[in-house]
Amino acid sequence: MDPEFVFELRTCRWAERSWPPEGTQDVVVARQLGTKRRRWDTVVVEVDADALARRGRFGRRRLDSDLLHVVRNAPAEWAWYRDALPDPGYPWRYVRETIHRADDRGVLDVRKQGNRLQIRRRYRYPDWVERIVAIENKPDLDASAARALRGQLERDVALSLADEVWVATRSTGDRIEPALLEEMPVEAGILTIDGGDAEVAWYPRSLDVDAPGTDILERPDGGKYDQSAARFEYVPGEEKRAKRLEIAERAYERGWRSYTKTMRPDCRHFQLRHEDATMLPYCGAKGRCQTAAECSQSCSRFEPEPPAWRQYGWPIDGGPGKGIQRLLEQRRERERPS
Residues that bind ligand SF4 (CB under 6 A): 264, 267, 269-270, 283, 285-286, 290, 294-295, 299, 301-302
Going from the C-alpha of 83 to that of each of 75, 94, 98, 262, the distances in angstroms are: 10, 16, 16, 44
Q: How big, in percent rounded to 5, are the helix, strand and coil portions of the chain? A: 35, 25, 40
Cα pseudo-dihedral 182, 188, 190, 191, rounded to 10: 180
Angle, in degrees to the nearest 10, between helices 65-73 and 237-254: 100
Instruction: Provide the minimum distance between the beta carbon of 281 and ligand SF4 in the complex, in angstroms, as a whole number.
Output: 8
Q: How far apart are CA 132 and CA 245, in angstroms?
A: 9
Name which of 13 and 264 has its Cβ closer to ligand SF4: 264
Name which of 168 and 283 has its Cβ closer to ligand SF4: 283
Instruction: Provide the minimum distance between the beta carbon of 295 and ligand SF4 in the complex, in angstroms, as a whole number.
Output: 3
Name which of 227 and 297 has its Cβ closer to ligand SF4: 297
Q: Hey, is 318 helix, strand or coil?
A: coil
Going from the C-alpha of 131 to that of each of 49, 199, 247, 288, 316, the distances in angstroms are: 13, 21, 11, 36, 42
Name which of 205 and 286 has its Cβ closer to ligand SF4: 286
Name which of 1 and 316 has its Cβ closer to ligand SF4: 1
Instruction: Provide the minimum distance between the beta carbon of 170 and ligand SF4 in the complex, in angstroms, as a whole number.
Output: 23
Instruction: Provide the minimum distance between the beta carbon of 156 and ligand SF4 in the complex, in angstroms, as a whole number.
Output: 32
Instruction: Provide the minimum distance between the beta carbon of 272 and ligand SF4 in the complex, in angstroms, as a whole number.
Output: 11
Pairing relationship of beta strands 129-137 and 164-170 according to DSSP bridges: parallel
Name which of 113 and 300 has its Cβ closer to ligand SF4: 300
Going from the C-alpha of 22 to that of each of 68, 183, 193, 204, 213, the distances in angstroms are: 33, 25, 14, 13, 29
Name which of 95 and 283 has its Cβ closer to ligand SF4: 283
In eight-state DSSP terms, residue 257 is -
Cα 84 from chain centre: 32
Instruction: Provide the minimum distance between the beta carbon of 299 and ligand SF4 in the complex, in angstroms, as a whole number.
Output: 3
Instruction: Provide the minimum distance between the beta carbon of 301 and ligand SF4 in the complex, in angstroms, as a whole number.
Output: 4
What per-residue string of b and e applies to 129-154 under the rule 16 or more CB within 10 Å gives b?
bbbbbbbbbbbebeeebbeebeebbb
Instruction: Provide the minimum distance between the beta carbon of 186 and ligand SF4 in the complex, in angstroms, as a whole number.
Output: 41
Name which of 7 and 166 has its Cβ closer to ligand SF4: 7
Going from the C-alpha of 229 to that of each of 104, 161, 219, the distances in angstroms are: 49, 24, 7
